[in-house]
A and B are shown apart, each in its own frame.
Chain A
Amino acid sequence: MNATIKILLVQMKAFITKEFYHVFRDRKSLLLLFGLPIAQILLFGFALTNEIKNTKIAVYDQAGDRASKRLIQRVEASKYFEVAAMLHNPAEIEGHFKSGQARLVLVIPAQFEADLARQQEPTLQIITDGSDPNTANTITNYLNNIIQDFQTDQKGNLQVRPEVRIVPVMRMLYNPQLKGAPNFVPGVMSLVLLLICVMMTSISIVREKELGTMEVLLVSPFEPILVILSKAIPYLVLSLVNLTLILVLSVVLLEMPINGSLLLLFGISTIYIITSLSLGLLISSVTDSQQAAMLLSLMGMMLPTMLFTGFMFPIENMPIPLQVISHVVPARYYYVIVKAIMIKGLGLSAIWKETAILVGMTIFLLVVSWRKFKIRLE
């Protein structure tokens, strides 16, 4: 028995070493492996962010008193806004929208300071460009937050006796600054890990078929299940390296928090990676060429993952049939889990349901792809 295990280890070591040679000698797979996550993080982090910074706004300050100046300073001090113009009459407002010089105009009423002091709740007007409703909504929210803060401070400044009053305060839990990173880093993780695992496994197995080496392997005393296992191990290791890379980049460059257990994060990621590897195995058993495997991995994995994970488009807003489909996309559950661990800092008790679904999917996929693989050998 001991001798058998020893031989097994020699066999697997030989195989795994070979797999690593394949990966590190092929520029394309290296680029895919390490270029993709870096590019995705940088792309989503800096270019494709849904965070809106440095919006140009115009201010029509009818008051021109100390309070209005302070408000304007505060708006300007935030990284979200840049006061591009001070307007002097209402007729200028539309011109600034039309020429695109301003995406938002803040109108401060006359007697602003006096009204504040008298507790008269002065009304500020915020005018935005509704032709781009998402942006308009977001920047209005940003500005409201700033005004809210300002108001709180003013009460102190003006030494007004605080009264009991209900102030509607909007708070974005977990992500108070409405940063983009907490949303897309888990998204990128689910996308990149899936793509890499599926593509690398399916291509490397199909390549052995194309080259004819698969036959040689099957004639050898090395068991088919060990062929698969030895194929999976290097990609599991590389994916974990990749995951580390994504996390380091996110924390260092994008100031992404990791509030929960790192161990739990890696544990569940390992399950997700195994899910992806078995999907790759499944694809390799239904395709015969590397191109077909590549195309199927890209089309079959990338689109559903981007659509149904919820990091780009909210699932709640989709038609019911699409919502139903989204339930079979493994990335959806992984995305929820990663967000819960990284941002909310939750433990296993909060995500056991998603984890159980993911484990179930993994077992199902492993069984199906293994059976398919065996049938193909016949």
Chain B
Amino acid sequence: MTNTISIRANGLTKKFGTFVATDHITFEVYAGEIFGFLGANGAGKTTAMRMLCGLLEPTSGEASVAGYDVYREAESIKKNIGYMSQKFSLYEDLTIQENIRFFGGIYGLSYEGIRQKGNQLLADLGLQSKAKALVGDLPLGWKQKLAFSVAVLHDPKIVFLDEPTGGVDPVTRRQFWDLIYQAAARGVTIFVTTHYMDEAEYCDRVSVMVDGRMDALDSPQNLKEQFGVNSIEEVFYRLARGAQRAD
């Protein structure tokens, strides 16, 4: 982790009519940091993330991602980020290799680049022998590791993970986080939303969203000390208890 700022948000707000989905959030994420984004459903996590990815125009406030402004330079942002959605995001009717070629292709990698990075990816995951297997035939855990590896195939500066480990068993989740650590060690900034509190403990810093506001932001250790509790889970419950939009 360095002190270079990777994502900066200042009073970032999104309103849908009278509903304030994201309410003046201000934070900074450093390059190579694993930044956890916690919050109940409807707390505004996805909206915030979509604004940072350039999918949604903010109503007010400022934000920059990888040094690019979210209002004016969304196209440059897209070139520098990777994204993995809640829903498993590879094509199941394509083979592993075909998925790699496709995603490498739409990120504009050269054929040679796709070949090299693709081989490296398969070697890292130990999937060389399965290159021609349909992704749909793989176990869920493998699919998710593959989806993450594909999301960082083009060497993005930042990768956004939207609840990446939904429905995966704890062992596989741990393996998945090993991949995240490896990417962070290479200097990739990780912006991850999650429901799993044990995962929150793996993050360098954690933010908690309540009703569109960012009510807490610190390292897991500091947060636990600040609230005088033993786990991030309890921190989260303390904060979320006051939520108006709980479901």
Question: Taking beta carbons and an 8 Å cutoff, which residues of A are in contact with B?
Answer: 7, 10-11, 13-15, 17-18, 21-22, 25-26, 211-213, 215-222, 377-378
Contacts and interface: CB of A to CB of B under 8 A. Distances in A.
B69 interface: no
B87 to A, nearest CB: 3
Nearest 4 Cβ contacts at the A-B interface? A14-B105, A212-B87, A219-B83, A7-B108
Considering residues B83, B102, B105, which has the most beta carbons from chain A within 10 angstroms of its beta carbon? B105
Interface in B66-109: 75, 78-79, 81, 83-94, 98, 101-109
A18 B85 contact: no
Given A219-B83, A377-B55, A18 B94 contact: yes
Interface in B24-77: 53-57, 75
B110 interface: yes
Given A215-B89, A216-B89, A220-B83, 11 more contacts: A11-B106, A14-B102, A14-B105, A18-B94, A18-B102, A21-B94, A22-B91, A220-B107, A221-B75, A221-B107, A378-B57
Contact of B87 (A13, A211, A220): A211
A212 B86 contact: yes
A25 B89 contact: no
Given A219-B83, A377-B55, A212 B106 contact: no
Contacts of A11: 105-106, 108
Contacts of A7: 108
Given A21-B93, A213-B91, A378-B56, A10 B85 contact: no
A44 B81 CA distance: 54
Contacts of A220: 78, 83, 103, 106-107
Contacts of A222: 106-107
B107 A215 contact: no
Interface of B: 53-57, 75, 78-79, 81, 83-94, 98, 101-111, 160
A220 B86 CA distance: 16
A15 B102 contact: yes
A308 to B, nearest CB: 37
Given A10-B108, A14-B105, A15-B105, A216 B93 contact: no
A221 B91 contact: no
B93 A215 contact: no
A179 B78 CA distance: 59
Nearest to A208: B91
A24 to B, nearest CB: 10
Contact of A15 (B55, B57, B106, B111): B106
Contacts of A13: 105
Given A21-B93, A212-B89, A221-B75, A14 B106 contact: yes
Given A18-B98, A219-B55, A377-B55, A10 B105 contact: yes
5 contacts: A11-B106, A211-B88, A212-B87, A216-B84, A222-B107
A216 B105 contact: no
A218 B55 contact: yes
A213 B75 contact: no
A218 B83 CA distance: 10
A22 B53 CA distance: 27
Contacts of B92: 211
Given A215-B83, A219-B54, A378-B57, A18 B91 contact: yes
Contacts of A211: 87-89, 91-92
A12 to B, nearest CB: 9
Contacts of B85: 212, 215-216
A13 B98 CA distance: 12
Nearest to B55: A218
Given A14-B102, A211-B87, A219-B83, A26 B93 contact: yes
Contacts of B110: 10
A22 B168 CA distance: 27
Contact of A212 (B78, B88, B105): B88
Contacts of B106: 11, 14-15, 217, 220-222
Contacts of B57: 378
B94 A219 contact: no
B55 A221 contact: no
Nearest to B104: A14
A17 B102 contact: yes
A10 B110 CA distance: 8
Contacts of B55: 215, 218-219, 377
A21 B104 CA distance: 16
